[in-house]
Structure 1
Amino acid sequence: MSRAGKFLRDNGLTLVFGLLFLGALVGQALTGHAMAIEERVENGFEPVSLGRYLTSSEFAVDVAENWQSEYLQFSLFIVATIWLVQRGSPESKRPSQIGRESDEKQIVGAHAEPDSPKWVRAGGWRTALFSRSLGLTMLAVFLVSWTAQYIAGRSAYNADQLVAFQDPASWAEYLFSADFWNRTLQNWQSEFLAIASMAILSVYLRQRGSPESKPVGAPHAVTEESG
């Protein structure tokens, strides 16, 4: 197999979903632009160009509100599964393994292997930071996305307020506004439902060949086993 072929095979999951993401984002941009033109024409305004729409707060808030909810889902799930379990789900650890686990099981410090990441063998703050790097990165992306939603959402909200000859909202007013929390909570509830559904449905249902599922013949009570 050629080097390019090996790269595509070894990174297929990331590449395919990356392309799906780009395709969906382009589709959102085009359909959102069409809707923006329709709304402006109906209200007696000039149509907006695609370039201007892509740099508008209207587009930014729609993108950011979806991103923040997805990364909130992952950051919460990563941390919650340290301490919480769902017996029989491949998404969960065994009940006997609740907690941060031993250095030996985590291959940390004296138990690090020759090809372990350098910071695992370094000890001190570097090992501590690396040990939490996935959750912290997901949390950071969530906070950045949520902040972007807040900033862009206020701008879009105030634009609508001015069109309706209403007073614009201050930063504090928008933070506690129904618009901000409606945008936020309508995404959060779907992410929480998805996690709960995946955790419990994977106890009783199977998908042959997927690591997100137990082996087809595995008993329902078996936990932390993928097929």
Structure 2
Amino acid sequence: MRLKQHTLSIFFGAIFVLALIGQSFAGLSVFNDEQVAHGASTIGWLDFVTSSDFVVDVAENWQSEYLQFFLFILATIWLVQRGSPESKKPGEEGVGSDAEQLVGAHARPDSPKWAKVGGFRTWLYSNSLLLTMGAIFVLSWLVQLLAGTTVYNADQALHGQPPFTVAEYLVNADFWNRTLQNWQSEFLAVGSMVAFSIVLRQRGSSESKPVGAPHDATAVEG
């Protein structure tokens, strides 16, 4: 029974690992095809998954996903969308009172310890989700930048061009082309989810309003 209570996170954890493994083998095949086309030697799987070519592709996806989460969490504190279960109800904008958030003197016996103690620890815990998403975004974005610089310089060397420093690559069109093509898709996905959930339904999903709920019902779970 305990396992059943965690099937959602287990499911997504499992398909994440499978997708990452699949990406590594597909990417290795593409990389080695390019190596052969350029008259260079092929490499093994372990060498590929520890290479900048693989790391930059993974980091690109991670940083855009966590930027999406960071901005959505931040935006939903202050912005609302009438009719969407992804939004708070109009008039409920803001961080909420201590009583609503069950912190400090309003904490329950089973509330997390840092919700009760007050001061900096309660503030930190109150913003821990946003801070964690932001930190993962920044770190993965930096990894993308560093690995991307290495990959770009390898291509530069292949064409007899001088290498770029990290700072030079940061303002290079190649870096921002790779970055923005991921960002725009994430922003589209979140915006579509918010908008579609106003009028569309999925029976049994917590991301949808009840099938019979009116279109203008907001912050209603199925």
Q: Classify the TM-score, shorter chain.
A: over 0.9
- The alpha-carbon deviation at position 96 of structure 1 amounts to 1.3
Q: 1:3 — aligned with what?
A: none
Secondary structure at 1:208 match in 2: coil
1:17 to 2:16 alignment? no
Query: What is the deviation of 1:9?
Result: 0.6
SS of the aligned residue for 2:2 comes to helix
**Deviation digits for residues 67-88 of structure 1, max 9, x if unmatched?**
0000000011001100000100
Note if 1:216 corresponds to 2:211. yes
Q: How does 1:33-52 map to 2 (within 5 A)?
A: 33-52=28-47
* Aligned mate of 1:72, from 48, 53, 67: 67
RMSD over aligned Cα atoms: 0.6
After superposition, residues 101-180 of structure 1 pair within 5 angstroms as 101-180=96-175
Size of the aligned set, in residue pairs, is 222
CA distance in 2 between partners of 1:105 and 1:10 (Å):
27
Q: Which shifted more, 33-42 or 45-54? A: 45-54
Distance 2:186 2:130 in 1: 17
Question: Aligned equivalents of 2:138 and 2:22: distance in 1?
Answer: 25
The 2-side partners of 1:53 and 1:161 are apart by 20
List runs of 5+ in structure 2 lacking aligned partners.
none
**Letter of the aligned partner of 2:83 in structure 1?**
G
Percent identity between the two aligned chains: 59
1:9-37 Cα distance to aligned partner (Å, 9 max, x none): 11100000000000000000000000011
CA displacement 1:158-183 (0-9 Å, x = unmatched): 01100111111112210001111011
SS at match of 1:96: coil
Q: CA deviation at 1:53?
A: 0.8
CA distance in 2, matches of 1:72, 1:222: 28
Distance, in Å, in 2 between the alignment partners of 1:54 and 1:41 is: 18
Structure 1 portions without partners, runs of 5+: 1-5
Measured after TM superposition, the shift of residue 49 of structure 1 is: 1.2
Q: Deviations over 1:71-120 (max 9, x none)?
A: 00001100110000010000000011001111111111111000000001
Alpha-carbon separation, structure 2, partners of 1:194 and 1:157: 29
CA distance in 1, matches of 2:33, 2:166: 29
Residue number among 79, 86, 92 corresponding to 1:84 in the alignment: 79
Corresponding residue SS for 1:174? helix
Q: Which amino acid aligns with 1:88?
A: G
Per-residue CA deviation, residues 157-208 of structure 1 (Å, 9 max, x unaligned), is 0011001111111122100011110111000000000111000100000000
Separation (CA, whole Å) in 2 of partners of 1:221 and 1:101 = 23
Whole-angstrom CA distance in 2 between matches of 1:200 and 1:53: 40
Distance apart, 1:7 and its partner CA:
2.5
Q: 1:56 aligns with which of 51, 56, 59?
A: 51
Regions of 4+ moved over 6 Å:
none
Paired AA for residue 215 in structure 1: P
